[in-house]
Amino acid sequence: MDQMTPSVLSPYRFFSAEEWSGFRAGTELTLSAEEVKRLRSLDDPVDLNEVARIYLPISRLLSAHVEASQHLFRERQRFLQAPDAAKTPFVIGLAGSVSVGKSTTARLLKELLARWPTSPKVDLVTTDGFLYPNAVLNAEGLMQRKGFPESYDVGAILRFLSAIKAGVRNVRAPVYSHFSYDVVPGETIAVDQPDILIFEGLNVLQVRDMPKDGKVVPFVSDFFDHSIYLDADEADLRRWYISRFMRLRLTAFRQEGSFFHRYSKIGEAEALEIAEGLWREINARNLHENILPTRPRADLILRKGPDHLIEQVALRRI
């Protein structure tokens, strides 16, 4: 059975964008057009209308989950007679392919959730910082598999999320530079007991082989209270990736010191061929081998149409 085909047997309920917009239920729009423009990524057409019809209902749903989780936490502390236990953040995992718009979605949700009447503290961390440094990837022959599961320091990710869930103060997360295309040596950000943490990355819903001896093998997603997968047809993902590459070739790649600076000095035909090759040999393979197979594990699936806007929402049944 295809779980992504609407039916009474699917674990999801499916809604068109228009149906989903009705769940806004009067939620106030707290972002301005200028703020949306600042939050969206290159070539992402999301605007105030898209925020109102898609992201406001999502923020309303997530806020309800957060409030229910906090209530359950308080009840459990009463049961355990441990009223002084550290607060446990609500962790939202956000997965999806390269070029699908994860960064825009993560930033929009962070701002919307932080502006709810309860004014929760919301932090955003991406898995990019947990990539092994380029020197390590080169030494291990993994540079052409950057973004694949084996290119991440999964142990560091699990230690980070374990500390977050334990309520530890000032947990440090490494920082990644898209300009240098590498982890920034010695630079970190502090995550200090947020109410909500959005953890965004290609493979955050990835699982591993189960141990035969029954030992505990934690997955990154074990630490999530809610998970979102951003979806689109592969043909659209490819087109968006190549379009962004060609735009960056004329903008950010032209800056001296950029890892991709060399691509700004070649002709358009050669650049297009390189972009096609990067998609085919790296990103498409990662999508098929690692990212797309995790889609059915998400609680909420946001499917984009060719115009880069959400056209369908699938919500896992309770």
Which tens digits make up the pLDDT trace of 148-195? 999 999 999 999 999 999 999 999 999 999 999 999 999 999 999 999
Tell me what the mean pLDDT of segment 219-235 comes to: 97
| CATH fold label, 12-236+299-316 | Rossmann fold (3.40.50)
What's the distance, CA 240 to chain centroid? Answer: 17
Domains of the chain, by residue range, sit at: 12-236+299-316
What does pTM read for this prediction?
0.94
Tell me what the mean pLDDT of segment 107-133 comes to: 96
Q: How far apart are the first and last CA of the chain?
A: 19
Give the Cα separation of 282 and 246 in Å (integer).
17
pLDDT at site 125: 98
Furthest-apart CA pair in the chain: how many Å?
A: 68
Which run of H or of E encompasses 276? helix 268-278
- In terms of pLDDT, which residue wins out, 213 or 309? 309
pLDDT at site 2: 62
User: Is residue 289 exposed (0-12), middle (13-18) or buried (19+ Cβ within 10 Å)?
Assistant: exposed
Q: Which two tokens stand for residue 240?
A: 């968006």
Q: Tell me the chain's radius of gyration from C-alpha atoms.
A: 20
Q: What are phi and psi of 45, to 5 degrees?
A: -85, 10
Q: What are phi and psi of 26, to 5 degrees?
A: 80, 5
Cβ atoms within 10 Å of 38's Cβ, excluding its own: 11
Given pLDDT bands bounded at 50, 70 and 90, which one contains residue 214? Answer: confident
Tell me what the mean pLDDT of segment 26-55 comes to: 94
Tokens 């949306």 correspond to what residue? 36
Given pLDDT bands bounded at 50, 70 and 90, which one contains residue 8? Answer: confident
Q: Choose among 134, 273, 130, 260: nearest CA to 204.
A: 130
Residue 1 has pLDDT above 70, yes or no: no
